Each structure stands twice: as structure tokens, then as C-alpha cells.
């Protein structure tokens, strides 16, 4: 797609495309766009949680005043939904944290020390004998 169409539709450009078969296309996002998407999702979940907190307070007052079983049922459902949103928020935060850990810039050094000895050498070492 051209840049003008991307801008007009509010789409991000395709960075890397892997074609499978003739009709199926898989888009592989870059690390930067994935981090931006996770931050956007995290912000959206946070907004929903703030709105839900106000809704729970209002629904709680309404349920107490009306003493309606249906109002309490709706309140319980709303609370369950808010708990799920909290879990989603934590999951999104963990995904973002794990994504920043796996950047290709980070280098891990591994040192392997190997000692090759025969059984006789090990027995000599345990007895405290040395080769003369």
C-alpha cells in the first residue's frame, strides 16, 4: 500500500510480510509497534477500569436502595468483569516487560567449564595422590 492510503486509513505500514499459500498472509510486527500496541491496550484497559470503578460504586448504591436481586446480580457481574480487566492489565504489563527483555541488543554470555578425567585420575585426586 502507498503511504498516502496508510495515512488516510490510519493504518501502520506493513513491515514484514510472510506469504503462506496463495491467499493467506501473515503480518509480523516489529518490536517497536508491538510495544506501542501493548501500551495502547494497557491504557485502554486502565480507562475501562477507572470507568468500571465508578460504575461499581453507583450500582452498589442502586442495589442497596432498591434491594432488588437483579440489581445485585448485575453488580456481581460488573465486579467479575472488573476482576478480569485487572487480570488483563497485569498480563499486558507482563507481556510488555517480557518483550523489552528479549530485545536482540541484550547479549547473554555462557561459560562452560569442562573437566575430562578418567576414573583412575579421580580416585588419585580423592586420595590426595599426585603424579610424580
Buried-state track 67-100, b at ≥16 Cβ within 10 A, e below 16: eeeebbeebeebeeebeebeebbeebeeebeeee
Assess if CATH 1.10.287 describes domain 31-104.
yes
Contact yes or no for 25/17 (Cβ under 8 A): yes
pTM of the model: 0.47
pLDDT tens across the length of the chain (132 residues): 456 766 666 666 555 444 444 455 555 555 567 778 888 888 888 888 888 899 999 999 999 999 999 999 999 999 999 999 888 888 888 887 777 665 555 567 777 777 788 888 888 888 887 665
How far is residue 104 CA from its own chain's centroid?
A: 18
Please calculate the CA angle 128-131-132 and round it to the nearest 5 degrees. Answer: 120
Amino acid at each position: 500500500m502507498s503511504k498516502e492510503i496508510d495515512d488516510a486509513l490510519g493504518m501502520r505500514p506493513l513491515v514484514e510480510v510472510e506469504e503462506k499459500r496463495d491467499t493467506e498472509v501473515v503480518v509480523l510486527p516489529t518490536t517497536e509497534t508491538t510495544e506501542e500496541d501493548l501500551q495502547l491496550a494497557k491504557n485502554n484497559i486502565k480507562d475501562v477500569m477507572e470507568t468500571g470503578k465508578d460504575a461499581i460504586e453507583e450500582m452498589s448504591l442502586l442495589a442497596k436502595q432498591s434491594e432488588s436481586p437483579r440489581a445485585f446480580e448485575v453488580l456481581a457481574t460488573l465486579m467479575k468483569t472488573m476482576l478480569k480487566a485487572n487480570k488483563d492489565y497485569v498480563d499486558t504489563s507482563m507481556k510488555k516487560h517480557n518483550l523489552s527483555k528479549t530485545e536482540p541488543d541484550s547479549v547473554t554470555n555462557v561459560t562452560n567449564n569442562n573437566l575430562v578425567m578418567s576414573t583412575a585420575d579421580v580416585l588419585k585426586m580423592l586420595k590426595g595422590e599426585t603424579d610424580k
